[in-house]
Chain A
Amino acid sequence: MGVRAWIEGWPAVRQIAGRDPLGRGAAAKSDRSRMLRARTEDADRMVRSVCPYCAVGCGQQVYVSGERVVQIEGDPDSPVSRGRLCPKGAASHQLVTASDRQTAVRYRRPHGTEWEDLDLDTAMDMIADRVIETRRRTWEDTDENGRVLRRTLGFASLGGATLDNEENYLMKKLYTALGAVEIENQARI
């Protein structure tokens, strides 16, 4: 760095010579601050999304670097939110990247005192068996008056309001085909 540049770098000089006479903006900026770059600038890509908390449906811009989410910002294009996010929406980066978020299936056997590991495929197979078995055992063809029921009340499901429409659709479709009717979600709670 030349002497001239060095002197011009002094905050007091910048304050007098620059556009920040009160020294509360650019003149006071440190070298370190100048070197900082927003994570969003270096991101590999930005993907459009929607806040997963309340039903306002604020637009989100999800920044990805090295196949990891590095930042989530409000989407200024959204006519709903115009770039804003509330504390929850702004914290959703932590929601998806939290290091303590569960990544593995856990299994507790009947009467067990501890969690055990379980392979995902095995878990899926066991759950399918539980459904088939419960359904068979609790099946109702008709009621006591002979009216057709064609159902099982042996198992129930709760959830859906935090999920996608497509997910709710597959849930309702599968459950109904299985004859399960005790299907509910937060809309009732």
Chain B
Amino acid sequence: MAECHPVGFQWVMEAKARGATIIHVDPRFTRTSALADIHVPLRAGTDIAFLGGLINHVLSRDLWFREYVMAYTNAPMIVREDFRDTEDLDGLFSGFAEQTRHYDPSTWQYEGADVAAAAGQRDQWALMHRDEEAGERSAAGRRTEKASSMETAGAAGGRFHGHPERDETLQHPRCVFQVLRRHFARYTPQLVADVCGITEREFERVADALTANSGRERTTAFAYGVGWTHHTVGVQYIRTAAILQLLLGNIGRPGGGILALRGHASIQGSTDIPTLFNILPGYLPMPHAHEHLDLDGYVSADAGSKGYWGNMDAYAVSLLKAWWGDVATADNEYCFGYLPRLTSSHSNYDTVVKQVEGSCEGYFLVGENPAVGTSNSRMNRFGLANLTWLVVRDFNMIESATFWKDGPEIDSGELTTEDIATEVFFLPAAAHVEKDGSFTNTQRMLQWHHKAVEPRGDQRSELWFYYHLGRIIREKLAGAVSRETPTPEQAERDRPILDLTWDYPTIGEFAEPDAEAVLAEISGWDGEGRPLSSYTQLRTDGSTRCGCWIYCGSYAEGVNQTARRKPGREQSWVAPEWGWAWPLNRRILYNRASADPDGAPWSERKAYLWWDAEQRKWVGHDVPDFQATKPPDYRPPTDAEREDAIGGSEPFIMQADGRGWLYVPTGLADGPMPAHYEPAESPVANLLYGQQANPARRVFPHRLNRYAPSGETPGSEVYPHVFTTYRLTEHHTAGGMSRWLPYLSELQPEFFCEVSPALAAERGLEHGGWATLVSPRAAIEARVLVTERMRPVTVGGHTIHQIGLPYHWGDNGLSTGDSANELLPIVLDPNVHIQPTKADTCDIRPGRRPRGRARLALVQEYQRRAGITAETGTEAVTRRGGPS
């Protein structure tokens, strides 16, 4: 955090100055470790084992926060009798089909209830269920659909049929609490120490500090760099932290939580209002192709009738009204039919494979540089070279714009410029000071940045580009209607574009769309065109329009709430009048949990929100993330729906049961609880189970994307070292916004690798000299930095060396070097399709890499020595002693 979110880290230091204990868990010793009280240099890729050990510590010593867990989590729910745990199946949960590499989650359910998918995976799951009942769908169809899966951030729901059985005493052997206890029992301090390559003492120091600092009087926060999500079990990493934090009562309370430290100015915003394939604004799922899918089916399959997702119909209809305006009516289902349908995963890497194969012909790159910035960059470049047209919008001539001229494959002779048919448009972009607009930072807070100057030359904002592109396309299609009467089919296909509300006012000589007008549409209007102030005003009857329900109210009263800038020193420590946080300017989510079930603060010290019996409402330091006047003793009638089905002592209002989930009965693709699997590529065998890697991970066997053998598989010794990629303070991701800047380039002039003195001695690497790193995908070179900051770890009696690789480089700009991303494989977490960048394997040798064709030959020579084939590393199920 000190390295990558330096200014945010000031608050950690502030806490430390007030007596907080700072624990840093990271394979590398960084500036954060230097300032922490405890640094745990665990082996990359073993966090679930480490956190699982902490869960076991909390459960086996009865250190959990009893009242919180009993009232606010699903600990009492009883799991179905036919559920089988990893304990029973040597690392698999029940329901895994090896053939399809997918879990059928039906045995994970609660007894007596059927909970339809929680986050994101909702649409597929529920409709699949319906279709299965109706016998409509082939098994193959189901398989492909399941691949598109969920988007976790922010979304959570769940739909109940029936009432789950509970045991409030937590004694029933199949209640979630007992299932959890058995599941984590094997994560003993000794096993954790072995798997993670740390000492038991190190583990115990953390366990003691963490549990001593949780309870009524104290809270502990987890902050993670999003590298935590960069594993084939990334979602389960976060789940493990969530279980621990729920057991300790650290969610929804000040100083608690699990805080994602995101890495781009508006990466949170681009998830909320998603430029992502599987969701619509506000985490509404993109519809999947189903027979007879209508708006009601889409909503009812997904919404759940209890909790706030019960209002999904109002959110969806208001979005459709925002997009298709007066054309969207009850009679035409508010143009629901205009939405394109998904049939499988359309994630970035699926697109890359399609580009290489030639079935995706056009590509827009908007502030993104996959030629060096994405896993297996080489495969990405082959994709770019196989396009028909490519639009690159950026500040500088990034590698993704120039690959056809000077990419590594031109040097190696695998591609020649004249043979590359890709037509490339480079359009210079406007910078943040040259346009109005809002960023959403990592705490869900929208902040407006005001335009300071006009952009120069052809530089334009994306707002300008997309608005005018849409305008021109609409004009052309409308013209086509009058000129060459299109077929009725074509006219029908063009209707969604021609009917789109696309009449934004423009400003100035460049005709820049008014960004505030766009924000106003996102925030929404009522039937009279008055700005809405809350998503609770959204209606199902088409009378409201709102482009993103969670942002509803960001333009309340016609005022740009995101531009509020009351100085921090003139307001409370929560600073509610700076910017605007979604939803409804709430700064801590689920903050009802900061009070006990009766509505009183857990302690004076940690008071944040409480029930005022006189005023009969929730009061405190923040906007309640709860119905403001719902009393703590409210008990919903059995037939209650939507938010009315949530009791007065149930803080998790997006969940159908109002509870935080220790166990996930549905919604995840790789198990209801986390289990430690080794990374897809690992030099060691899994010490916990016979199952080596996440069985449900998505693999992409391709000649450009070979995998290393793992664990005890012969050949794994050819790639004996673990490498982990990361950022430096002085550069930004793939370097498009930093490698062209003289200051930053001077501070970090070139690519380097960090190795321990032991590894340097073993491989003859010289400090300041060159090293070549080889993975099954590529060979790259880096300057060598020999440092004690990298520490070898001992796992199962073997020494494992770890290599650190900052990933900012490419050949263009002022500061140049090979891209670490070349080494990375494309193999994905099955829930969110994210690649592992933090723990993979390679070899390292002294000297520079070969040039020209010899570079590829070196990679192939390693592949041969390791015996790599198309199947290597793709095994779903493994048993001890290698693949079954």
Contact = CB atoms under 8 A, between A and B. Distances in A.
A165 B438 contact: yes
Contacts of B742: 94
B744 interface: yes
A54 interface: yes
Residue from A92, A125, A159 with most neighbouring chain B CB atoms (10 Å): A159
B268 A55 contact: yes
B158 interface: no
A157 B275 contact: yes
A143 B364 CA distance: 26
Interface residues of A, number: 117
A138 B453 CA distance: 41
Nearest to A66: B453
B258 interface: no
Interface stretch (B66-74, B656-664, B831-839): B831-839
A33 interface: no
B4 interface: yes
Interface in B268-310: 268-277, 280-281, 286, 289-291, 293
A104 interface: yes
B547 interface: yes
B432 A172 contact: no
Interface string B140-166: 010000000000010000000000000
Nearest to A123: B425
B426 A102 contact: yes
Contacts of A54: 4-5, 262-265, 732
Query: What DSSP secondary structure best describes chain A's contact surface?
Result: mixed
A104 B459 CA distance: 7
B515 interface: yes
Nearest to B339: A176
B62 interface: no
A81 to B, nearest CB: 5
Contacts of B862: none
A150 interface: yes
A115 B397 CA distance: 11
Contacts of A48: 448-450, 563, 565
Residue from B273, B438, B456, B465 with most neighbouring chain A CB atoms (10 Å): B273
B367 A161 contact: yes
A87 B477 CA distance: 48
A45 to B, nearest CB: 8
Contacts, number: 469
B426 A110 contact: no
Interface residues of B, number: 168
A181 B288 CA distance: 11
B265 A165 contact: no
Interface string A156-181: 11111111111111111110111111
B396 interface: yes
A19 interface: no
Contact of A131 (B263, B473, B490): B473
A155 B743 CA distance: 37
A150 B343 CA distance: 11
A54 B443 CA distance: 12
B293 A157 contact: no
Contact of B340 (A120, A150, A163): A150
B427 A105 contact: yes
B106 interface: no
Nearest to B435: A164
Given A79-B578, A102-B395, A169-B547, A111 B418 contact: yes
B740 A98 contact: yes
Contact of A125 (B348, B472, B490): B472
Contacts of B293: 147-148
18 contacts: A55-B266, A57-B447, A64-B453, A85-B7, A88-B732, A96-B433, A104-B457, A131-B469, A155-B360, A155-B362, A158-B351, A159-B366, A160-B274, A169-B273, A176-B323, A179-B340, A183-B276, A185-B267
Given A56-B441, A111-B418, A170-B462, 18 more contacts: A58-B7, A102-B394, A110-B421, A131-B469, A149-B340, A150-B338, A154-B361, A155-B361, A156-B363, A159-B364, A160-B275, A161-B265, A164-B437, A165-B272, A167-B461, A171-B466, A173-B500, A185-B368
